[in-house]
Structure 1
Amino acid sequence: MSATMDQHGMFNWEMFLALLIAWIITCLSIIRGVSVIGKISFLTATLPYVIIVIMFIRGVTMDGSKTGIDYYLLKPDMSKVFRLKTWLEAAKQLSFSLEIGFGGLLALASYNKKDHNCFRDAIIVILCDSLMSIIGGVAVFSTLGSLSKSSGKLIDVLFSYDAPSITFVTYPQAISTMPVPELFAFLFFFMLFLLGISSQFGTTQEIITTFTDQFPALRRWKWAVAIGLCVFCLLGGLIMCWQSGFYWFQLFFNSIGGIAVLILCVVEVVSITYVYGISNIIRDIRENLGYPKSRMTTIFGASGYYISLCWTVLTPLILMVVIVTGIVSDISSTADEYSNLFLTYLPLLVIPSFTFINIWYFTKKGKSWKQVFRSQPQLPSSIETGAKEIRITPATLTSNSKISASD
């Protein structure tokens, strides 16, 4: 690693080769289609859980593991719960972990059938994600507890609260103290590879789906779009292959997808509940998933009172408090680092950019720009509800000129 970000140092050809292989695999998988990605993702999403369970069992059986478990889970510093920064970091982590606010879930969910139970999927994903976060945390901190005992250093001294530092420095150091460290090191980094490649599959497919839905003419050239995007991302990743690459990685890691994603979440929630209307979205859900059949589902079901309360009040209110805290923190801590602030809020350009693109697209088709802000006629809450199932995309409304003209 170079001394500073400005000193690029030597080019790491081994890292470039790994980057090239990852993007070739991603490109070939996407060209083969969503079904192939689903089959590959089944493997890449399942094996990491098996590996982390192995690491968990090994970690909790090591001498000194209780020290790490107490630090992480049983005897935490509860004073941090009352700090807004803690909730800010938790919200950012949830956005990354569950892909909330990135738009990918919406793009890929459009491939589901009309009556697919997305509410059940959401519950399963959240429960599994929470469970594996706890198991993964125990696996890491039990191992760090063993390292703490063997080195005679406190856990706070062993690492900073920095994900790259824990991943690439502290935890590998702890693994080196295990019996057969080569095996556990291989399992750990193989798990990271699988998690990375599966995320790469999903994110790349999400971007391609977004562009092909926005510009239907690109669908027949989907293979070319996939190659172009993968080549573009490969070239963008070259900056990480120099000795200064870790600094760039830290810059992007700490900047991209933070406060901006939370702001996108607020815009999304407010657009659905207050612009489209909470009554309309509840009607859509009940039309597709059915009406509540018990008092429990009336309160906590997919279209229950609790969901409505969260969407209309709790979620936007809590996120706004967290966002204001984050913005104040960003301004005070990076007042002289305009590049960091630019990267942090760069994703917000998506909102005005695609608003103007859609307005241009509709006016080009001879339609009023006001139709950009109307609900699509295929939705149950619309006055004109079509009977056939169809993927809801930006092209859906423009293809139905008769309904659009009569609104």
Structure 2
Amino acid sequence: MADWASWGLILTVCVACILVVKTDIKVNTPMGQLFVFELQREIFQNDFEPFLHHYAGKVYNDPMLFKCNKQAFPDLPGWLRFTQRHPYDNGFLYGTPLVQEKTIIEITVINKRSYDTFRDRLIIRIDPPEKRLPYQAEFFIPLREIEKVLPSAVQEEIRQDLKRIWKTDQLTFVNITSALDRGGRVPLPLAGHFEGVYVKVGSDQRFSECLLRLQTAEHKRQCEAGGRVPGNCAVCSYPSNCVTWCNSTLIDVSSPVAFSPAPTMGPGILDAEGVYDPPESPPPRDFLPDYIVTVIVPLVLAIILCLLLSYIMCCRREGVEKRDSKTPDIQLYHHHTIHGNTTELRSMAAGRGVPPPLSTRSMFNARTGETAPPFQTDSPSIPLILAQQEINTDTLPRN
């Protein structure tokens, strides 16, 4: 049963990994303007079967994870970005296209509750720019995060505030960037701490007097002193949409919107039907000096040191004859005497193998020279006393 359960689990995972492209979503966007596409979880929820069939008919709120990449590529194009803070939040594809082309984005949707997976394709057709935007300005909104600014309703709120500052109705979003992408620091995960967002807008109308103050020396002095720009420039309907003027800049584009140039033919790119002419090989290098410095010089030094050590250890010795000739005769006599005495003592010590005298044996009788077996007693001194008594009786005079 355990084997069947394992095979069933593997089969379920394999089936879940099969991706099927269900629909193609086609959108158009002008070049040089902000593009935002919201991946709404409610729409993709209808494409999943109910996790529990007896709950059919009820509204589901499954956590979903979106993964986006360019077709046949592992990542998104350079101008396009994706953000999704949490599986229960919608995802956003946003960016500013700079080249007129057709881009196909594969959107993989993963249901984190049932682990069902499917794939849609987003076909983005980039059209030529609708109009020139020679006057552009970038504003910093510190109390916002990128996914909170991308919805169309929030963009319209920010647009209305900027219209009153610019004093024109012809404003177009050029780009929206998170402060983290511009080198900002990650905020603390606490209430009231935000990443901050840079919003760039453009128009064909000239800057207003409020915006022109951003280029004055007085404005720079106020920013260095930590003050704020006075007057009717600080206009915001919602406190979270207020602009930090010291981090805002004006961009006067006299020519059309600058796009990234196409790659030019250079020495590293072949022409059509060209023949590759490899560069010449580098000249041969002479490694003899390196070999001499690395191997020969240390080897010669080692040989010289060995010869010097051998001379000191072997050739500088005096010898026995020279030493004896310099030593006084009396000292040599004492030396030979010590050696002779030592040899004699060693020869005497070699004769210690003879049997010991009888007097050193236990239970020895001095008169008869016999030894008696010891008595079975705990005291070893009794036989010696008896032997002494016998000696005394034998030495007494007889009548």
Q: TM-score category by the smaller chain?
A: under 0.3
Give the helix-richer structure, 1 or 2: 1
The structure with the larger Rg is 2
Normalised by the size of structure 2, how large is the TM-score? 0.19
Scaled by the length of structure 1, what TM-score is found?
0.19
Q: Which has the higher strand share?
A: 2
